[in-house]
Structures are given as C-alpha cells and as structure tokens.
Amino acid sequence: MRRVLVVEPAKPVLLLEEVKQHLKVDADDDDSLIEIFIAAATGHIDGPDGWLGRAIGAQTLEAGLDGFVYDPIRLPYPPLIDLVSIRYEDVTGTWRDLDPAIYELRDGEVGTAWGKSWPGTRAYRGASRSVRIRYRAGYEEVPAPIRVALLMMIDDLYRNRGNVAVGTVGEIKMPVASSMLLQPFRVYG
C-alpha cells in the first residue's frame, strides 16, 4: 500500500502572460483571478490528486511503502526525473538512508542492483510506512498537448464563471477537446 506526498510542488507550468495572450486579455484587472484559474486547472490534472495520474510540472514527491515488498518498485506519478533518496526503518526501529549501491533505476522503477537484496524493515499494521522514497517527477518541458489543454480549461473557466450548465445536474465537465488532448497522457490504475 502506498501513499504519496508532495514535498516540493511544481512551479506553474503556464505563465500569466501566456495565458492572458491566449485569453486576449490586455488589462491587468483580472490577473489575480486568472492566476487562480491557472492553479485550479493545473491542480485538477496534476500530481497525486490529479485526473491524469501523473506529474506534470517538475515536483518532488515522497512515496511511502509498508516495506520493500516488491522488486522492482514502480514509482507512481511519472515521468521520473531522478531519485532523491530512499530511507527505511530497519528491524530495530532506526531510520537509515539506503546505500545507492543496493538499487538502480530502470524505466521509472527502482529495483535491486545485480546480486543485492532489499534490507529488512520494521513491520507495522496500519498507516505507518517503513520505507520512504523521495523522487522528482514531472516534465522539464511540458508537452504541447498538455499545455494547450490547460489553456483551453482556463479559457473555459474564465469565460464561463458560473457552474450551471443547461441539461446537467451536479457535474462540471472538462471541455471535450481538453480531455481528448490529455487522454494519451492519462495513467490508469
């Protein structure tokens, strides 16, 4: 069982000026509102709480595991940029940094290096996690379809500031074109 925390959030993937250009807004009157829409649209699809199931902007995440039960360990919310650290609570209850010679990265997964094995960890029942993998994930350069989808979502939020749509009840839908642009990037399960 995993839980993932955002240790260091991503910087905005879209700048205010490029969004204003897309919206064809010249004045600065709505800057605060537009920044809120940028954050809302990005937050809707990005990271551990996002619809895409992946990291968009480069961010630092920490995955907590109940132990070294898998080999390799697939890190959630790709793409993986780099591994920062692996800490574990050994069988005596002491937190330790795992020696990098024990593991290697393989296509977004962390596995034991040839001839090595995972160390023993303290066993818990419940929410405690005896292994914490800190890593950077996201895109250094966000792909154009994701950027365009975000611009379209922000445009929809800016132009349609209410949440009432004729013929729908209790649901706010993502613009169809945005979801189609994002679909190839969506991670399931």
Report, as an integer, the average pLDDT of 26-55.
93
The single-letter DSSP state of residue 12 is P
pLDDT recorded at residue 166: 59
pLDDT recorded at residue 1: 43
C-beta of residue 64 within 8 angstroms of C-beta of residue 88: no
pLDDT recorded at residue 120: 92
pLDDT tops 80 at residue 34: yes
Tell me which residue of 171, 180, 172, 186 sits closest to 149, measured CA to CA: 180
Q: What is the largest CA-CA distance in the chain?
A: 63
Q: Which domains does the chain have, with CATH numbers?
A: 13-53+142-185 (1.10.3230.30), 59-137 (no CATH)
Residues 1-28 as b/e (b if ≥16 CB within 10 A, e otherwise) read: eeebebeeebeebbeeeebbebbeeeee
Average pLDDT, the chain: 89
Instruction: Please give the share of the chain, as a percent, with pLDDT higher than 70.
Output: 90
* Helix locations, 26-140, DSSP H: 31-45
pLDDT tops 50 at residue 77: yes
C-beta of residue 87 within 8 angstroms of C-beta of residue 96: yes
State how far the Cα of 143 lies from the Cα of 158, in Å rounded to an integer.
23
pLDDT tens-digit readout, 142-173? 999 999 999 999 999 998 877 655 555 555 56
